[in-house]
Homo-oligomer: A and B are copies of this chain.
Amino acid sequence: MSQTEETNMYELYYWPTIQGRGEFVRLLLEDVGADYVDVIRKPDTEGGGRNALLALLAETGHFAPPILKDGETIVSQTPLIMDYLGAKHGLAPTDEAGRREALRLSMLLADFLVEAHDVHHPLAKEFYYEDQRDEALRRAPSFRDTRIPKFYGYLERTIAANGGYLVTGGLSHADISLFQIIEGMRYAFPKASARLEPDYPGLITLHGEIAARPNIKAYAASGRRIPFNEHGIFRHYPELDG
Protein backbone atom coordinates (compact mmCIF):
# COMPACT_ATOMS: atom_id res chain seq x y z
CA MET A 1 0.00 0.00 0.00
CA SER A 2 1.84 3.02 -1.22
CA GLN A 3 0.76 6.53 -0.45
CA THR A 4 1.43 9.27 -2.94
CA GLU A 5 2.33 12.67 -1.58
CA GLU A 6 -0.88 14.29 -2.85
CA THR A 7 -3.18 11.68 -1.38
CA ASN A 8 -4.66 11.80 2.08
CA MET A 9 -5.44 8.62 3.90
CA TYR A 10 -8.92 7.81 2.59
CA GLU A 11 -11.69 7.00 5.01
CA LEU A 12 -14.37 4.63 3.78
CA TYR A 13 -17.60 4.38 5.73
CA TYR A 14 -19.59 1.25 5.02
CA TRP A 15 -21.39 -1.53 6.87
CA PRO A 16 -18.74 -3.67 8.50
CA THR A 17 -20.13 -7.19 8.00
CA ILE A 18 -21.11 -7.28 4.32
CA GLN A 19 -19.54 -6.65 0.94
CA GLY A 20 -22.56 -4.72 -0.35
CA ARG A 21 -22.01 -1.49 -2.23
CA GLY A 22 -18.90 -0.74 -0.23
CA GLU A 23 -17.06 -3.63 -1.85
CA PHE A 24 -16.93 -1.84 -5.20
CA VAL A 25 -15.02 0.95 -3.50
CA ARG A 26 -12.82 -1.41 -1.48
CA LEU A 27 -11.82 -3.25 -4.66
CA LEU A 28 -10.83 -0.04 -6.40
CA LEU A 29 -8.86 1.19 -3.38
CA GLU A 30 -7.11 -2.17 -3.14
CA ASP A 31 -6.37 -2.31 -6.85
CA VAL A 32 -4.65 1.07 -6.88
CA GLY A 33 -2.84 0.32 -3.62
CA ALA A 34 -4.37 3.28 -1.82
CA ASP A 35 -4.01 3.84 1.88
CA TYR A 36 -7.47 3.70 3.41
CA VAL A 37 -9.24 3.07 6.65
CA ASP A 38 -12.44 1.04 6.64
CA VAL A 39 -13.72 3.15 9.49
CA ILE A 40 -16.80 1.32 10.74
CA ARG A 41 -14.88 -1.96 10.86
CA LYS A 42 -12.61 -0.51 13.51
CA PRO A 43 -13.65 -0.92 17.16
CA ASP A 44 -15.61 1.86 18.85
CA THR A 45 -12.63 2.42 21.12
CA GLU A 46 -10.54 3.33 18.09
CA GLY A 47 -13.09 5.74 16.61
CA GLY A 48 -14.89 3.10 14.57
CA GLY A 49 -18.24 1.37 14.86
CA ARG A 50 -21.66 2.69 14.00
CA ASN A 51 -21.18 5.79 16.10
CA ALA A 52 -18.51 6.90 13.63
CA LEU A 53 -21.06 6.59 10.83
CA LEU A 54 -23.75 8.44 12.74
CA ALA A 55 -21.31 11.25 13.50
CA LEU A 56 -20.29 11.51 9.84
CA LEU A 57 -23.92 11.55 8.65
CA ALA A 58 -24.77 14.28 11.13
CA GLU A 59 -21.70 16.30 10.21
CA THR A 60 -21.91 16.05 6.44
CA GLY A 61 -25.60 15.66 5.66
CA HIS A 62 -24.99 12.69 3.38
CA PHE A 63 -27.74 10.11 3.07
CA ALA A 64 -26.25 6.66 3.44
CA PRO A 65 -23.07 4.62 3.12
CA PRO A 66 -20.88 3.98 1.27
CA ILE A 67 -19.35 7.38 1.92
CA LEU A 68 -15.76 8.26 1.07
CA LYS A 69 -13.86 10.94 2.91
CA ASP A 70 -10.78 12.30 1.21
CA GLY A 71 -9.60 15.16 3.38
CA GLU A 72 -12.29 17.82 3.07
CA THR A 73 -13.99 16.08 0.16
CA ILE A 74 -16.95 13.85 0.94
CA VAL A 75 -18.46 11.68 -1.78
CA SER A 76 -21.39 9.27 -1.61
CA GLN A 77 -23.46 7.26 -4.12
CA THR A 78 -21.28 4.34 -5.20
CA PRO A 79 -20.95 5.31 -8.89
CA LEU A 80 -19.88 8.82 -7.92
CA ILE A 81 -17.24 7.44 -5.55
CA MET A 82 -15.96 5.19 -8.32
CA ASP A 83 -15.88 8.14 -10.71
CA TYR A 84 -14.05 10.29 -8.19
CA LEU A 85 -11.43 7.68 -7.31
CA GLY A 86 -11.18 6.44 -10.88
CA ALA A 87 -10.33 9.92 -12.13
CA LYS A 88 -7.80 10.38 -9.35
CA HIS A 89 -6.02 7.06 -9.85
CA GLY A 90 -5.97 6.63 -13.62
CA LEU A 91 -8.99 4.35 -13.79
CA ALA A 92 -11.19 6.70 -15.81
CA PRO A 93 -10.82 8.24 -19.26
CA THR A 94 -9.34 11.72 -19.03
CA ASP A 95 -11.69 13.35 -21.55
CA GLU A 96 -15.08 14.56 -20.36
CA ALA A 97 -17.14 12.35 -22.68
CA GLY A 98 -15.18 9.22 -21.81
CA ARG A 99 -15.34 9.91 -18.11
CA ARG A 100 -19.10 10.40 -18.38
CA GLU A 101 -19.34 7.11 -20.27
CA ALA A 102 -17.56 5.22 -17.47
CA LEU A 103 -19.88 6.83 -14.93
CA ARG A 104 -22.91 5.95 -17.03
CA LEU A 105 -21.87 2.29 -17.09
CA SER A 106 -21.20 2.34 -13.38
CA MET A 107 -24.75 3.65 -12.88
CA LEU A 108 -26.11 0.91 -15.12
CA LEU A 109 -24.35 -1.70 -13.01
CA ALA A 110 -25.79 -0.08 -9.90
CA ASP A 111 -29.27 -0.44 -11.43
CA PHE A 112 -28.60 -4.11 -12.00
CA LEU A 113 -27.41 -4.45 -8.42
CA VAL A 114 -30.76 -3.16 -7.17
CA GLU A 115 -32.53 -5.80 -9.22
CA ALA A 116 -30.23 -8.53 -7.90
CA HIS A 117 -31.09 -7.41 -4.38
CA ASP A 118 -34.81 -7.08 -4.96
CA VAL A 119 -35.04 -10.69 -6.16
CA HIS A 120 -34.79 -11.75 -2.54
CA HIS A 121 -36.53 -8.66 -1.16
CA PRO A 122 -39.35 -7.88 -3.59
CA LEU A 123 -41.70 -6.42 -1.00
CA ALA A 124 -39.68 -4.34 1.41
CA LYS A 125 -36.23 -4.01 2.91
CA GLU A 126 -37.99 -3.92 6.26
CA PHE A 127 -39.34 -7.49 6.02
CA TYR A 128 -37.28 -10.63 6.54
CA TYR A 129 -36.60 -12.80 3.52
CA GLU A 130 -38.70 -15.55 5.06
CA ASP A 131 -41.69 -13.20 5.04
CA GLN A 132 -41.42 -12.54 1.31
CA ARG A 133 -40.05 -15.86 0.16
CA ASP A 134 -43.13 -16.76 -1.89
CA GLU A 135 -42.95 -13.44 -3.69
CA ALA A 136 -39.22 -13.91 -4.25
CA LEU A 137 -39.95 -17.28 -5.81
CA ARG A 138 -42.33 -15.60 -8.24
CA ARG A 139 -39.83 -12.86 -9.10
CA ALA A 140 -36.74 -15.01 -9.50
CA PRO A 141 -37.53 -16.69 -12.87
CA SER A 142 -38.04 -13.31 -14.53
CA PHE A 143 -34.72 -12.13 -13.13
CA ARG A 144 -32.86 -15.26 -14.25
CA ASP A 145 -34.46 -15.66 -17.66
CA THR A 146 -35.02 -12.07 -18.73
CA ARG A 147 -33.07 -9.56 -16.72
CA ILE A 148 -29.67 -11.29 -16.47
CA PRO A 149 -29.54 -11.96 -20.23
CA LYS A 150 -30.68 -8.40 -20.95
CA PHE A 151 -27.87 -6.86 -18.88
CA TYR A 152 -25.18 -9.43 -19.65
CA GLY A 153 -25.98 -9.23 -23.36
CA TYR A 154 -25.72 -5.47 -23.31
CA LEU A 155 -22.44 -5.55 -21.39
CA GLU A 156 -21.03 -8.18 -23.78
CA ARG A 157 -21.83 -6.03 -26.82
CA THR A 158 -20.36 -2.99 -25.11
CA ILE A 159 -17.12 -4.84 -24.31
CA ALA A 160 -16.91 -6.15 -27.86
CA ALA A 161 -17.34 -2.64 -29.22
CA ASN A 162 -14.68 -1.12 -26.96
CA GLY A 163 -11.69 -3.40 -27.33
CA GLY A 164 -12.31 -5.70 -24.40
CA TYR A 165 -13.29 -3.10 -21.79
CA LEU A 166 -16.53 -1.33 -20.97
CA VAL A 167 -15.14 2.02 -22.07
CA THR A 168 -12.80 2.72 -24.97
CA GLY A 169 -9.20 3.27 -23.95
CA GLY A 170 -8.57 0.47 -21.47
CA LEU A 171 -9.40 -0.57 -17.96
CA SER A 172 -11.64 1.76 -15.93
CA HIS A 173 -13.45 1.71 -12.62
CA ALA A 174 -16.54 0.44 -14.45
CA ASP A 175 -14.69 -2.81 -15.23
CA ILE A 176 -13.88 -3.25 -11.55
CA SER A 177 -17.58 -2.86 -10.76
CA LEU A 178 -18.39 -5.41 -13.43
CA PHE A 179 -15.92 -7.84 -11.85
CA GLN A 180 -17.73 -7.52 -8.53
CA ILE A 181 -21.14 -8.00 -10.15
CA ILE A 182 -19.98 -11.27 -11.72
CA GLU A 183 -18.50 -12.35 -8.37
CA GLY A 184 -21.78 -11.65 -6.63
CA MET A 185 -23.86 -13.35 -9.28
CA ARG A 186 -21.70 -16.47 -9.08
CA TYR A 187 -22.25 -16.54 -5.32
CA ALA A 188 -25.99 -15.85 -5.37
CA PHE A 189 -26.92 -17.70 -8.56
CA PRO A 190 -24.28 -20.37 -9.16
CA LYS A 191 -26.49 -22.53 -11.35
CA ALA A 192 -27.82 -19.67 -13.47
CA SER A 193 -24.30 -18.25 -13.78
CA ALA A 194 -22.85 -21.58 -14.90
CA ARG A 195 -25.62 -21.94 -17.48
CA LEU A 196 -25.51 -18.38 -18.82
CA GLU A 197 -21.86 -17.35 -18.67
CA PRO A 198 -20.71 -19.32 -21.76
CA ASP A 199 -22.87 -16.96 -23.83
CA TYR A 200 -20.83 -13.96 -22.69
CA PRO A 201 -17.16 -14.73 -23.28
CA GLY A 202 -15.97 -11.12 -23.39
CA LEU A 203 -17.48 -10.45 -20.02
CA ILE A 204 -15.89 -13.55 -18.49
CA THR A 205 -12.49 -12.78 -20.00
CA LEU A 206 -12.62 -9.29 -18.51
CA HIS A 207 -13.63 -10.70 -15.13
CA GLY A 208 -10.67 -13.06 -15.27
CA GLU A 209 -8.27 -10.29 -16.20
CA ILE A 210 -9.29 -8.28 -13.16
CA ALA A 211 -9.21 -11.31 -10.86
CA ALA A 212 -5.59 -11.83 -11.94
CA ARG A 213 -4.41 -8.31 -11.14
CA PRO A 214 -1.80 -8.62 -8.39
CA ASN A 215 -3.44 -6.30 -5.89
CA ILE A 216 -6.84 -7.90 -6.40
CA LYS A 217 -5.33 -11.36 -5.91
CA ALA A 218 -3.51 -10.19 -2.82
CA TYR A 219 -6.72 -8.69 -1.43
CA ALA A 220 -8.68 -11.89 -2.07
CA ALA A 221 -5.98 -13.87 -0.26
CA SER A 222 -5.57 -11.40 2.60
CA GLY A 223 -8.60 -12.34 4.65
CA ARG A 224 -9.67 -8.69 4.55
CA ARG A 225 -12.34 -9.33 1.92
CA ILE A 226 -15.53 -10.08 3.85
CA PRO A 227 -17.10 -13.29 2.53
CA PHE A 228 -20.44 -13.03 0.77
CA ASN A 229 -23.25 -13.87 3.16
CA GLU A 230 -27.02 -13.78 3.57
CA HIS A 231 -27.04 -10.29 5.05
CA GLY A 232 -25.66 -8.59 1.96
CA ILE A 233 -26.98 -7.63 -1.45
CA PHE A 234 -26.02 -10.86 -3.19
CA ARG A 235 -27.52 -13.75 -1.23
CA HIS A 236 -27.47 -17.42 -2.03
CA TYR A 237 -30.94 -18.86 -1.57
CA PRO A 238 -30.82 -22.06 -3.66
CA GLU A 239 -34.57 -21.98 -4.28
CA LEU A 240 -34.16 -18.71 -6.21
CA ASP A 241 -31.47 -20.14 -8.46
CA GLY A 242 -33.85 -22.43 -10.35
Contacts and interface: CB of A to CB of B under 8 A. Distances in A.
A142 B158 contact: no
A79 B118 CA distance: 22
Given A123-B135, A142-B127, A76 B63 contact: no
A142 B126 contact: yes
Contacts of A118: 118
How many identical chains are in the complex? 2
A213 interface: no
A154 interface: yes
A149 to B, nearest CB: 13
A41 interface: no
Interface stretch (A97-105, A190-198, A222-230): A97-105
Contact of A124 (B61, B62, B80, B139): B139
A161 interface: yes
B123 A104 contact: no
A146 B100 CA distance: 34
A208 B154 CA distance: 41
Interface string A15-49: 00000000000000000000000000000000000
A215 interface: no
29 contacts: A61-B157, A61-B158, A61-B161, A62-B104, A63-B108, A63-B154, A73-B97, A75-B104, A77-B103, A77-B104, A77-B108, A79-B107, A80-B100, A80-B103, A80-B104, A84-B100, A107-B107, A114-B114, A122-B122, A122-B139, A123-B135, A123-B138, A123-B142, A124-B138, A124-B139, A124-B142, A127-B142, A135-B135, A135-B138
